[in-house]
């Protein structure tokens, strides 16, 4: 597989179509795949305590299935077209770096039951991802990093800030999710669709001067007005740096042409009731049937 350090040969175990709740609404979407590295470039790998990359493939808040996963990159992995623009797939990179790679499916806004009921609308997607986090998989469950793009990036950010929130507990109990923590170690949100109220401003601030496919640029008068409005909005938040990062609490707030900077809050103290295992299992740690 392709990485920034060149091609690497990875031998791994693939578990796919693993249903992660005891009472699923739709197993096609409420299941996950797990790739566990065994050997990298001929060197044996012990993934017992490896970090876990939770790589969702959600876009547009549409449904995403892992039942047909064919490898670390799925569509774009072996036999697929690869990551867009020659970029390295996060799943490929993670597996080649010794991570356990989990790709969760989740319900989305496009799912409609025969009676016309939409059964994938909010909060279905985030509830499903939380249930996937709770499921016992190989690797270090205190070092789960969620990655996603666009809507998937927004859901990764939400996973990062809502770990063990009681607001989701009724939904998780209804699905029969494991009685475990859904706090993650970190979230990686690529162009997350999150702050919709300021999305137009943010886009022009970051990309307003970029050329379109035609080679032209958008109306710069409007673009610069939106860009300036976003800079003012950022300044009004009075962001404060920590541990030497960004402006100090006493320093004036500034913006740069490189884009806004942010940091995730410290991860919540883990209260997981599970332990790493060699393969996915559906035995609860408390002894009753269901994922753990």
pLDDT for 70: 64
Between 68 and 16, whose confidence is greater?
A: 16
Cα angle: 41, vertex 17, 180; to 5 degrees: 90
6-10, 102-106, 187-191, 256-260: least confident range: 256-260
What DSSP line would sit under 177-202, residue for residue?
A: --SS----SEEEEES-S--GGGHHHH
pLDDT at 237 over 50: yes
What's the DSSP call for residue 107?
-
Q: Is 254 exposed, middle or buried (0-12, 13-18, 19+ CB in 10 A)?
A: exposed
pLDDT tens digit sequence for 44-97:
999 999 999 999 999 999 999 998 776 555 433 332 333 444 445 888 889 999
pLDDT at 176 over 90: yes
User: What domains can you pick out in the chain, each with its CATH number?
Assistant: 2-194 (3.40.50.1820), 196-211+220-237 (no CATH)
In whole angstroms, what is the distance from residue 30 CA to residue 283 CA? 17
pLDDT for 76: 31
């Amino acid at each position: 597989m392709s990485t920034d350090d060149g091609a690497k040969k990875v031998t791994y175990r693939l578990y796919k179509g693993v249903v992660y709740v005891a009472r699923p609404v739709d197993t096609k979407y409420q299941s996950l795949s797990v790739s566990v590295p065994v050997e990298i470039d001929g060197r044996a790998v012990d993934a017992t305590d490896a970090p876990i990359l939770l790589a969702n493939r959600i876009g547009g808040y549409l449904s995403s299935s892992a039942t047909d996963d064919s490898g670390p990159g799925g569509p774009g992995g072996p036999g697929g077209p690869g990551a867009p623009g020659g970029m390295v797939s996060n799943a490929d990179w993670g597996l080649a770096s010794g991570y356990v790679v989990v790709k969760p499916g989740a319900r989305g806004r496009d799912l409609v039951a025969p009676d016309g009921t939409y059964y994938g609308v909010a909060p279905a997607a985030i509830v499903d991802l939380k249930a996937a986090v709770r499921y016992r998989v190989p690797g270090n469950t205190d070092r789960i990093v969620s990655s996603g793009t666009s809507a998937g990036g927004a859901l990764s950010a939400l996973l990062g800030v809502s770990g063990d929130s009681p607001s989701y507990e009724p939904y998780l109990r209804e699905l029969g999710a494991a009685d475990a923590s859904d706090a993650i170690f970190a979230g990686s949100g690529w162009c997350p669709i999150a702050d919709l109220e300021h999305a137009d401003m943010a886009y022009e601030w970051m990309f307003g001067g970029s050329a379109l496919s035609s080679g032209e640029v958008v109306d710069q008068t409007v673009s610069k007005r939106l860009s300036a409005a976003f800079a003012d909005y950022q300044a009004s938040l009075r962001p404060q740096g920590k541990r030497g990062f960004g402006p100090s609490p006493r320093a004036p707030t500034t913006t740069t042409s490189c884009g806004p900077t942010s940091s995730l809050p410290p991860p919540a103290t883990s209260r997981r009731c599970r332990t790493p295992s060699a393969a996915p299992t559906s035995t609860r740690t408390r002894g009753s049937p269901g994922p753990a």
